[in-house]
């Protein structure tokens, strides 16, 4: 009789299938009560697993769950895109046609008005940037709050 007990791995392999087993291993199991109990435990576990119903995937999921699985496309705001493109073309064409007259007109203006027309678009850009940062931070805070509520 082989005195060394079989390893857990050997016992699991034997319980899975007795096809490739050596007679030496089976001799040990039949002679050693410790290894026999472990072997029978593994066999009953295997049987229980085989009797479990197969996991299936139901393709008829509700739409809201399907929408969660499929990544959503970011909607393109066509109207805004067309308006911005047309506006850009209009500004470029008018700058080519009336550019020189516009510069001549601008130079004739008093200095205060020149600064005013220079500062106007700059302040508009600054205000828009600040508003964008505020909205971005609000969105981030909402995401952080949501993830916090998931964690608790
Ligand atoms: Zn043993």
pLDDT digits (tens, 9 = 90+) for 109-137: 888 888 888 899 999 999 999 999 999 99
| Two tokens, residue 40 | 């029978």
Instruction: For residue range 20-40, list pLDDT tens digits in order.
Output: 566 788 889 999 999 999 999
Please indicate, yes or no, whether the overall pTM of this predicted structure exceeds 0.75: no
Angstrom CA distances, 74 to 55, 77, 96, stand at: 34, 9, 36
**Lowest-pLDDT choice from 21-25, 101-105, 141-145:** 21-25
Phi-psi sector, 62: left (phi>0), alpha (psi -120 to 50), beta: beta
Going from the Cα of 48 to the center of ligand 1, the distance in angstroms, rounded, reads 24
How many C-beta neighbours within 10 Å does residue 35 have?
20
Going from the Cα of 16 to the center of ligand 1, the distance in angstroms, rounded, reads 18
Q: What's the pLDDT at 125?
A: 95
Going from the Cα of 47 to the center of ligand 1, the distance in angstroms, rounded, reads 22
Going from the Cα of 33 to the center of ligand 1, the distance in angstroms, rounded, reads 7
Going from the Cα of 40 to the center of ligand 1, the distance in angstroms, rounded, reads 13
Q: What's the pLDDT at 37?
A: 95
Going from the Cα of 3 to the center of ligand 1, the distance in angstroms, rounded, reads 7
Going from the Cα of 21 to the center of ligand 1, the distance in angstroms, rounded, reads 15
Q: Are 49 and 16 in contact (CB under 8 A)?
A: no
Q: What's the pLDDT at 151?
A: 63
Instruction: Report the sign of the C-alpha dihedral through residues 116, 120, 121, 122, in that order.
Output: positive
Our measurement of the distance from residue 17's CA atom to the centroid of its chain's CA atoms, rounded to an integer in Å, reads 41
pLDDT averaged over the chain? 85
Q: What's the pLDDT at 63?
A: 77
Quick one: average pLDDT of 98-104? 87
Q: Are 6 and 26 in contact (CB under 8 A)?
A: no
């Amino acid at each position: 009789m082989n005195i060394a007990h079989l390893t857990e791995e050997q016992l699991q392999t034997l319980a899975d299938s007795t096809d490739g087993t050596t007679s030496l291993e089976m001799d040990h199991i039949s002679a050693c009560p410790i290894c026999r109990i472990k072997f029978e435990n593994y066999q009953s576990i295997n049987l229980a697993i085989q009797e479990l119903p197969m996991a299936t995937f139901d393709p008829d999921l509700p739409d809201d769950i399907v929408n969660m699985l499929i990544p959503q496309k970011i909607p393109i705001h066509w109207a805004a895109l067309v308006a911005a493109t047309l506006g850009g073309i209009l500004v470029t064409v008018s700058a080519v046609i009336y550019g020189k007259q516009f510069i001549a007109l601008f130079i004739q203006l008093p200095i205060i008005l020149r600064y005013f027309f220079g500062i106007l678009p700059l302040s508009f850009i600054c205000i828009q940037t600040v508003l964008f940062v505020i909205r971005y931070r609000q969105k981030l805070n909402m995401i952080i709050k949501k993830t916090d509520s998931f964690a608790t």
